[in-house]
Amino acid sequence: MISDLLKYTSMLVVLVLLQVLLLNNIQFSGYVNPYMYVLFILLLPFETPRYLLLLLGFLIGLLVDIFSNTPGMHASAATFMAFVRPYTISLISSRDSIEVSIPPRLKTMGFGWFLRYTIILVLAHHLFLFFIEIFSMSGFLHTLTRSLLSTVFTVILIVISQFLIFKE
């Protein structure tokens, strides 16, 4: 239990730092911003209480906000993503395939499941974020394109990271 706490805390710190120090500086042609810190919300264990999920989502979003001077924007998007997560899991999994004891990882859940899981949640987060950022429906297609392209990029980063770092 304590080791879990330590593990997820360090994951939170590492992902926030990675996001604000490295990834925030990547902007291809003003379109693509990868937001990889959302990986934290993806990797939380299945048995995480739902209220904790929301609070943790809010927390990591707020941390990213504080470092990138956008109070509230990432917090709201990450909270939204945490809100959608339980519904996504029940949508893409058959009832008995989820064992609460194992965490949602690429290795444990299989590539197909993990990819669907990642794409849906990252897309939800990015759409929310980019529309909050522009704060209107004008330029709808432009914002949509930005969200989709960034989603592709973030998903690729997340999948690669699963193969490389979080092998355990």
| Distance, CA of 27 to CA of 32 (rounded, Å) | 6
State the nearest-atom distance from the C-beta of 65 to other proteins, in Å.
8
Residue with tokens 């395939």, as numbered in its chain: 97
Specify the residue, 65 or 104, whose C-beta has the smaller distance to other proteins: 65
Specify the residue, 94 or 136, whose C-beta has the smaller distance to other proteins: 136
Specify the residue, 17 or 55, whose C-beta has the smaller distance to other proteins: 55
Residue 54 near residue 82 (C-beta atoms within 8 A): yes
Specify the residue, 140 or 163, whose C-beta has the smaller distance to other proteins: 140
| Distance, CA of 116 to CA of 30 (rounded, Å) | 27
Tokens of 118: 């990642």
State the nearest-atom distance from the C-beta of 24 to other proteins, in Å.
16
State the nearest-atom distance from the C-beta of 132 to other proteins, in Å.
7
Residue 106 near residue 162 (C-beta atoms within 8 A): yes
Name residues whose C-beta falls within 8 Å of residue 132's C-beta, 6 or more positions apart in sequence. 73, 76, 77
Q: Which residues bind other proteins (CB under 8 A)?
A: 50-51, 54-55, 58, 61, 65, 70-73, 75-76, 79-80, 82-83, 86, 132, 135-136
